[in-house]
Amino acid sequence: MSEEVNGGVAPINEQEDIAPYRITAIMEIAFVLRSLAQNNTNLAIYFNAGRDMMLSRVLNVDSKAQQFIIDVGGHEPSNAAIAQAERILFVTTLDGVKVQFSVVSVKLGQFEGKPAFIVGFPKDLIKLQRREFFRLLTPITNPLSCDLTLPNGVKTQLELHDISLGGAGIWLKDEQHTQMQAGIIIQHAYFDFAAAGTAKLDIEIRSTHPITMAHGKVRWLVGVRFIDLPRGIEASLQRLLAHLERERKTLIG
């Protein structure tokens, strides 16, 4: 798997009203899964009661058998844990829309001669097409950044992985994840949004997750929420998101 990861890695908040966005028709579920495969979209797999996450991709979809194939990871303990898990949650974004579904089990098998997970279709699937969840990857070559003070008083500069009008995903360094507990408020974080300017914002830590990259490498990603985003900064972010979306469409043709 590539070391690039998808933007909307955090699961949908349990307090969200997701009923209007629930899909139950088998053919519609198959269409979404097939779109993920065709777009080579990264898929976040949450297991171990949501405490661990691995990235994968949909390799094939069989509508008749109502199952799909996903790639195994490079970290064997994670693969074994997923194969034994009683519930697995999948989260991704497709054309800016958050997609989430769960299954009770997967099984190890093969696809085109290589190890893969075989997964039965979920009973339902959520497509949360709401503006605040449109999250886009930030540039890799010239990443956006954030300067903040950790809860232990240490100042650090971090790179953004993704961004939306509601918040951002930020890559952590070393053992910084031990400082980033859900619910913590960090004041006066300084964001450099490149051409969209800069902003000093208060942020709330929403989630922190280990991400198993290729070859078993583990990185930590923290999801943050912007608190009381000023209108002027929101307008700048809207322009930035529009620019990133145009660049994304140019790259994928």
What pLDDT sits at residue 244? 83
Give CA–CA dist 165/133, Å, rounded.
8
* Residue 101 Rama label (left phi>0; alpha psi -120 to 50; beta): beta
List of E strands, 72-217: 88-94, 97-103, 106-111, 114-120, 125-128, 136-137, 145-149, 155-163, 167-171, 185-192, 198-212
CATH topology of domain 136-252: Thrombin, subunit H (2.40.10)
What pLDDT sits at residue 79? 93
Does the pTM exceed 0.75? no
pLDDT in tens, 183-223: 999 999 999 998 888 999 999 999 898 888 767 788 899 99
- Both tokens of 33, joined, read 């899964």
User: What residue segments make up the domains of the chain, in order of their start?
Assistant: 19-131, 136-252
The CATH label, of 3.90.1150.10, 3.30.450.20, 3.40.1160.10, 2.30.110.10, for the domain at 19-131 is 2.30.110.10
